Amino acid sequence: MITTTIVVYAEAVMSKTHFRTCHLCETMCGIAVEYEGDKILSIKGDPNDVLSKGNICPKATGLQDVHTDQDRLKAPIRKVNGEWQEVSWEEAFEFAAEKIVSSQKKHGYNSVASYMGRSIAHNLGSLIGIAPLREMLKTENIFTGSTVDQIPHNYAWQFMLGHPYFATVPDIDRTHYFLMLGTNPKISNGAMMSTGANPQKKFKEISARGGKTVLIDPRRNESADYVDEHHFIKPNTDALFLIGIINTIFEKGLATPGRLEAHIKGWDKVVSALKPFDMATIEKITGIAAEEIQRIAVELATAESAICYGRTGLSMVEFGGLCNWLMQVVNIITGNMDEPGGLMFPLNAIDTVGLQAKQGQFTFNAFRSRVSQRPEFAGELPLCVMAEEIMTPGEGQIRGLIALSGNPVLSMANGKLLEEAFDQLDFMISVDFYLTETTKHADIILPPVGPFEKSHYDLFYHTYDTINWSKYSPRLFKPEGKGYTDFEIIRELLKRVAAKRASGFKEKLQVKAVSKLVDIALTPDRIVALGLRFGPYGPGLNPFKDGLTLKKLKDNPGGVYLGPLQRSLPERIFTKDKKIDLAPDFYLDDLPRLYDRFYGGIQEQMDQDTEFDMTIISRLTHRTLGWMHNSERLVKGKHACTLLIHPKDAEKRSINQNSTVTVTSAVGSIEVPVEITDTIMPGVVSLPHSWGHNRKGTRKRVAEAHPGASLNDITNEKVVDELTSNAVVHGVPVKVELKRVAVAS
């Protein structure tokens, strides 16, 4: 008994706690990592974190599985005669740099493309490395995961406010009316609204202060339990619902631009452009009664403060561009733009938005993709064209790819086509610490260090803050052996490519000197320190000013609170004429596409001509993110990759709770087990995304044991939002058939 007590006491004394930000999503929760030596004992919420105050979701605990994961690559591997071989970092960097330089020398700069997965946005080193990497590659073939996700939001911010990253953030802590479309904050914990997890508590607080929360979604999803009202809506019809809201507000004379009236243009244009969309048709198409839409519009317009907010259900759809524009219109015409309780803008400690604006306007349509002529936006091409750009011969064909994290084979529409395309590349370089469905196609994989083996600062996701605050997370563990951070990998590649391109003694000497300087002077922490010092809250060069510095953040491991969101318009309107554009031609010109589809009989004709009588939508799950499927503690228990189907649709097809079904679309079919539930509307089925770990040649043993099916084996890269080229993952026509019925033992 005495011995046991002593052992327990000794363990308690030896363990330490490290505080950092969970970098897995934009919610940015504070975690307390209890560790002993290099062993993590537990991961819990940090009650002293300024934003999350101890709240976390289960995903954070999976980080310890990533830390200890035997499948996580710690050294570069190179494919030789189809077999992976561990190689030295020296060989890996030389191989990668040589491939880039020789391909571009022979076939031109555009012959090498880059892809950056969404997790790059959570990664300090990669974010800092992106600009110089793009500069070095000099290619137009730049792709990211944004065009399978949120790019329609960025378009709206660009065309209406003049800056694609000037995010409009719901002031959830002060609002009196929260209308949400195509979103599930209970599961996403925010998304474009960094709430520090537990947004459902904030929904309750809205109701408690006399306000109201309304959710519009084809699923009565997990958030529905916490809101005052939920309405089913047919997928891909949210644009019409929003037009119904806007028309009602105008018709009832409830439009009130408020403080910003003198800074808004295009008011009359919106009124006349949306008039032809009558309410009776909107009711028929959306499935929501006209009186309900009108009531919600009046409630929203007359609330003390209100927010109209939407996420992937409004961006990964065929009218995603229009949806995001209309959503902003609702907020602007009700006087809720840049007002407490409405949509607001954080002022970040490192003001990336302001710094980018100083460099001039972002581009749109400065060039087009070679094969299907899709326009670039903010310097990148949509991911929907990557496969054809690789597979179509001709000048400018992509022959080499450098892919930084992400797993587009599972996350991009028609992932199987991407696989075919990757196999046709002359070379592929991946920066990733897993052998995934995507990286298995690479010739070389350069693995960055693990999540606890580098420092962290959310350079990008603070732009979604619902309060102004700042936090820095130091490195916890030293990597095993010679570990390179993402930043160091990019830096090393840049140096070697520059050295190989240099010609003549003098130029080579210059490159060598600059490389040495970069090695010594350029580190992510130094850049963060500078950004903070000269940012809006920093002391600048004044040694007597008590401003925000990196040291201050290090002294406050839970972060530093910088105050509630403040009004920032009109000063921070970034359009050339300093006006908020309520009616950009870019959107007005796309309205006929919406009108013809639903008022001109195109949708009716499509419904008649097709064998696909159901619509599939994607969904998030509570415990998993695609790249975390190798965490045992996250995938254990009831399998998450099931197809939700309404009882009526199940009955029609003789499907029962034990059934596995075949889901078929225009591009392929998958088999999945079903879950019969009336939380999904009839005619719609739902499957989580980023599953499908049944491809051969990966090395993620836990994920392979829980493979699921990939939604993107049945989505079509050719079906996109024509305005923004964003992939369509919600609202794909499918048919569902019984595959087999499990016989009870």
Longest dimension (CA), the chain: 83
Whole-Å CA distances, 147 to 120, 185, 216, 442? 14, 21, 23, 22
**Of 584, 728, 576, nearest in space to 156 by CA:** 584
In this chain, which stretch among 52-60, 276-284, 585-593, 690-698 interacts with ligand SF4, using CB under 6 A?
Answer: 52-60
Q: 132-191: which residues touch ligand SF4 (CB under 6 A)?
A: 189
Q: What is d(CA 389, CA 127) in angstroms, rounded to the nearest whole number?
A: 25
Residue among 266 and 451 whose Cβ is closer to ligand SF4: 451
Cβ-based neighbour number of residue 292 at 10 Å:
17
CA separation for the pair 64, 73 (Å, rounded): 15
732 part of the interface to ligand SF4, by CB under 6 A: no
| Residue 308 is a binding residue for ligand SF4 (CB under 6 A) | no
Q: Which of 29, 179, 192, 285 binds ligand SF4 (CB under 6 A)?
A: 29
Q: Which two tokens stand for residue 125?
A: 């080193």
Q: Name the segment binding ligand SF4 (CB under 6 A); options: 51-59, 216-224, 348-356, 536-544.
A: 51-59
Distance between CA atoms of 373 and 713, rounded to whole angstroms?
A: 25
Segment interacting with ligand SF4 (CB under 6 A) among 18-26, 155-163, 411-419, 724-732:
18-26
Cβ neighbours of 601 (radius 10 Å): 11
| Rounded CA separation 176/304 (Å) | 6
Could you say whether residue 634 binds ligand SF4 (CB under 6 A)? no
Stretch near ligand SF4 under the rule CB under 6 A, chosen from 21-29, 110-118, 264-272, 629-637: 21-29
- Looking at the Cβ atoms of 22 and 425, the one nearer to ligand SF4 is 22
Q: What's the CA gap between 1 and 5, in Å, rounded? A: 6
Peptide bond into 539 cis (omega under 30): no
Identity of the amino acid at 506: K
Smallest distance from the beta carbon of 18 to ligand SF4, in angstroms? 15
Q: What are the φ/ψ torsions at residue 441 (nearest 5 degrees)?
A: -85, -5
Cβ proximity of 712 and 415 under 8 Å: yes
Q: Which residue number, 18 or 495, has a Cβ lying nearer to ligand SF4?
A: 18
User: Which residue number, 124 or 676, has a Cβ lying nearer to ligand SF4?
Assistant: 124
**394's torsion region: left (phi>0), alpha (psi -120 to 50) or beta?**
left
Select the span of 57-65, 306-314, 418-426, 730-738 touching ligand SF4 (CB under 6 A): 57-65
Q: Rule CB under 6 A: say whether 709 interacts with ligand SF4.
A: no
Site string for ligand SF4, 184-203 (x = CB under 6 A): -----x-------x------
| Segment interacting with ligand SF4, rule: CB under 6 A, options 17-25, 178-186, 432-440, 489-497 | 17-25
Residue of 28, 113, 121, 667 interacting with ligand SF4 (CB under 6 A):
28
Question: Which of 123, 202, 45, 51 shows the shortest CA–CA distance to 562?
Answer: 51
Residue count, binding to ligand SF4 (CB under 6 A): 12
Closest distance of CB 455 from ligand SF4, Å: 17
Which residues touch 649 (CB under 8 Å, ≥6 apart)?
614, 655, 682, 683, 685, 736
Least distance from ligand SF4 to the Cβ atom of residue 61, Å: 8
- Judged by beta carbon, residue 167 or residue 381, the one nearer ligand SF4 is 167
Sign (positive/negative) of CA torsion 536, 539, 540, 542?
Answer: positive
Yes or no: say if 307 and 193 are a contact pair by the CB < 8 Å rule. no
Instruction: Collect all residues with Cβ–Cβ distance below 8 Å to 434 and sequence separation of at least 6.
Output: 71, 72, 73, 627, 630, 698, 699, 700
Q: Which is nearer to ligand SF4, 193 or 498 (CB)?
A: 193
66 binds ligand SF4 (CB under 6 A): no
Contact 287, 235 (CB under 8 A): no
Min. distance of Cβ 204 from ligand SF4 in angstroms?
18
Residue 405: C-alpha distances to residues 126, 416, 458 (Å): 10, 18, 17
Q: Which is nearer to ligand SF4, 631 or 686 (CB)?
A: 631
Give min distance, CB of 222 to ligand SF4, in A. Answer: 13
Residue 60 sits in the site that holds ligand SF4 (CB under 6 A): yes
**Residue (of 721, 725, 716, 680) closest to 317 by Cα position:** 721
Q: How far is the CB of 27 from ligand SF4 (least distance, A)?
A: 4
Give 139 or 189: the residue with its C-beta nearer to ligand SF4: 189
Scanning 24-32, 159-167, 256-264, 286-294 for contacts with ligand SF4 by CB under 6 A, the matching segment is 24-32
CB 189 → ligand SF4: shortest distance, Å? Answer: 4
Binder among 18, 19, 20, 25 for ligand SF4 (CB under 6 A): 25
Measured over the CA atoms of residue 697, residue 699, residue 700 and residue 702, the dihedral's sign is positive
Q: How far apart are CA 445 and CA 428, in angstroms?
A: 9
Q: How far apart are CA 256 and CA 254, in angstroms?
A: 6
Strands of the sheet with 112-116, listed across from one edge: 83-86, 77-80, 444-446, 427-431, 400-404, 112-116, 142-144
Under the criterion CB under 6 A, does residue 470 sit at the interface with ligand SF4? no
Q: Which is nearer to ligand SF4, 617 or 620 (CB)?
A: 620
Instruction: Kindly state whether residue 57 participates in binding ligand SF4, applying the rule CB under 6 A.
Output: yes
Least distance to ligand SF4 from the beta carbon of 188, Å?
A: 8
Residue in 59, 456, 629, 646 binding ligand SF4, rule: CB under 6 A: 59
E-assigned strand segments in 468-613: 468-470, 472-473, 560-563, 580-581
CB of 226 to ligand SF4, least distance (A): 16
The residues facing 455 across adjacent strands are none
Q: For residue 22, state whether it binds ligand SF4 (rule: CB under 6 A).
A: yes
- Beta strand 83-86 with 112-116 is unpaired
Candidate ranges 55-63, 260-268, 484-492, 732-740; the one touching ligand SF4 (CB under 6 A):
55-63
Shortest gap between Cβ of 31 and ligand SF4 (angstroms)? 7
What single-letter DSSP state applies at residue 319? T
Residue with smaller CB distance to ligand SF4, 60 or 246: 60
The residue (of 118 and 597) whose beta carbon lies closer to ligand SF4 is 118
Query: Which part of the chain contacts ligand SF4 (CB under 6 A), choosing from 20-28, 239-247, 630-638, 651-659?
Result: 20-28
Answer yes or no whether residue 24 interacts with ligand SF4 by CB under 6 A.
yes
- Give me the residues paired with residue 380 across strands: 377
Nearer to ligand SF4, 194 or 618 (CB): 194
- Please report whether residue 33 would count as binding ligand SF4 according to CB under 6 A: no
Q: Are strands 30-36 and 39-45 parallel, antiparallel or unpaired?
A: antiparallel
For the segment 376-405, give every residue that binds ligand SF4 (CB under 6 A): none
Q: How far apart are CA 656 and CA 677, in angstroms?
A: 11
- As measured in angstroms, the least distance from the Cβ of 21 to ligand SF4 is 7
Residue with smaller CB distance to ligand SF4, 467 or 493? 467
Nearer to ligand SF4, 28 or 476 (CB): 28
Angstrom distance (rounded) from CA 51 to CA 561: 8
In terms of CB distance, is 180 or 723 closer to ligand SF4? Answer: 180
**How far is residue 12's CA from residue 571's CA, in Å, rounded to a whole number?**
53
Q: Distance between CA atoms of 246 and 452, rounded to whole angstroms?
A: 47
Distance CA 257, CA 152 (A): 24
Give the residue, chosen from 27, 247, 463, 631, that forms a contact with ligand SF4 under the rule CB under 6 A.
27
Q: Which stretch binds ligand SF4 (CB under 6 A): 53-61, 66-74, 241-249, 407-415?
A: 53-61
Could you list the residues that contact ligand SF4 (CB under 6 A)? Answer: 22, 24-25, 27-29, 56-57, 59-60, 189, 197
